[in-house]
Amino acid sequence: MESSGKSYALITGAANGIGFEFARLLSMDSYNLVLIDIDIEKLFEKKNQLMNQYKNEIIILSVDLSKIEAGSIIFNKLSELNIEIDILINNAGFGMFGYFADTSWDREQNMIQLHVVTPTQLIKLFLPGMLKRNHGKILNVASLAAFQPGPLMSIYYSTKAYLLSFSLSLANELTGTGVCLTVLCPGPTKTGFQVTTGNENPKIKWNMACSEVVARYGYQAMQSGKIIAIPGIINKSIVFIEHFLPLKFVCQMVRLLQERNRRKIRLQIDYQN
């Protein structure tokens, strides 16, 4: 099968927040884009916004990434179009706040699928082509949450921990292949995510960054081949200090911060990191 001969970057969760900022940065560098999100109207809006500014080609696909067949749908569609992916950015995600005994299993299954299964499957499908061409870049968006347990958001923290561990393992395997993998671990980011987890007016705002800043940091880290990217000196300090603290203490501190930063327990979700 003949390829299109053009360089494409695929971004999941591309209609808002960090994902859209990645799309903007890639457009500035003349990459053609494949934008994936569940919100087709928002995708059309963002596509038009980018095409009014840049001359790159943009393909949009409305796919529910929380479904088991999501990765195959994307891969098969792009194969039909003879499109090869040179940059894969797994960004889509959502949060849910509450006691594990009370939260919705259906939503937790969706979260596990979205944060764990679909990113892993997309890499499994697109990585062989990158290795064959001896070049490619993968960026997984995890979270600062990946470095510690997270009471009251236990599934979210656990799925992000998987992304971190998987990314580090795979990055090591890819050494010397021409394919680089970066895992981005931002702290709380102004994307709309806080509203959906009951945290629209957090009392602790000192490490809140905007989507544009986080995306730029992650993009530069990916382009330079950096493996772990933690934006912000405070976030880096938190990760460093946690290594010297008892895990039980860290877990309790996370719980206290979670309780303090929420006005009430709400079970709302959003496809944004």
Catalytic annotation, residues: 156
Spatial separation of the C-alpha atoms in residues 170 and 155, rounded to whole Å? 22
**How crowded is residue 11: how many other Cβ atoms within 10 Å of its Cβ?**
27
Residue matched to tokens 């394919």: 179
- Phi, psi of 34, deg, nearest 5: -120, 110
6 DSSP 8-state letter: S
Alpha-carbon torsion (115, 118, 122, 125), positive or negative? positive
Residue 43 burial (C-beta neighbours within 10 Å; 0-12, 13-18, 19+): buried
Q: How far is residue 252's CA from residue 254's CA, in Å, rounded to a whole number?
A: 5
Question: How crowded is residue 55: how many other Cβ atoms within 10 Å of its Cβ?
Answer: 8
Q: Is 213 exposed, middle or buried (0-12, 13-18, 19+ CB in 10 A)?
A: middle
Which candidate, 175, 144, 125, places its Cα nearest to that of 12? 125
